[in-house]
Amino acid sequence: MRCCFECRRKRILKLTERFGLVLGCRLCTGFALLPVLWFVNFVYYRLELSSDAAPQPMKSHVRWSGYFCALCAMAWISWLIVYYVALNRGEDWPRSFLIFDSQKLSW
């Protein structure tokens, strides 16, 4: 038997309260993996940048994939630094991003 949307939402909220989970949406996960796609695109086609036979739009797409991948990598590394520095200082806001909060779990 299929469950209604409201029933699923209640189960997710119950899991969230019980284990301290932070559940993301599929759309956000898809956008989070976009820099990986840019990286694969750049690595796979990087030799075409120096080729004369490659069309110009392809070269610009490969170049932009490399730029955006590098930009996202720098943003991700800066986020990690800010997050872990705040977590080590004992601030409360980083704990809201944890998937499993070790202080809320009881074994």
Boundaries of domain holding 58: 24-95
Give pLDDT, residue 1.
43
Asked whether residue 11 is domain-assigned, the answer is no
Is 17 part of a structural domain of the chain?
Answer: no
Q: The whole model's pTM is what?
A: 0.61
Residue 47 in domain? yes
Residue 44 counted as domain residue: yes
71 assigned to some structural domain = yes
How many domains, in total, are found in the chain? 1
Q: Does a structural domain hold residue 39?
A: yes
Q: pLDDT of 9-62, one tens digit each?
A: 666 666 655 555 454 555 556 677 888 899 999 999 988 888 888 899 889 999
Q: What is the 3-state secondary structure (H, E, C) of the chain?
A: CCCCHHHHHHHHHHHHHHHCCCCCCHHHHHHHCHHHHHHHHHHHHHHHHHCCCCCHHHHHHHHHHHHHHHHHHHHHHHHHHHHHHHHHHCCCHHHHHCCCCCCCCCC
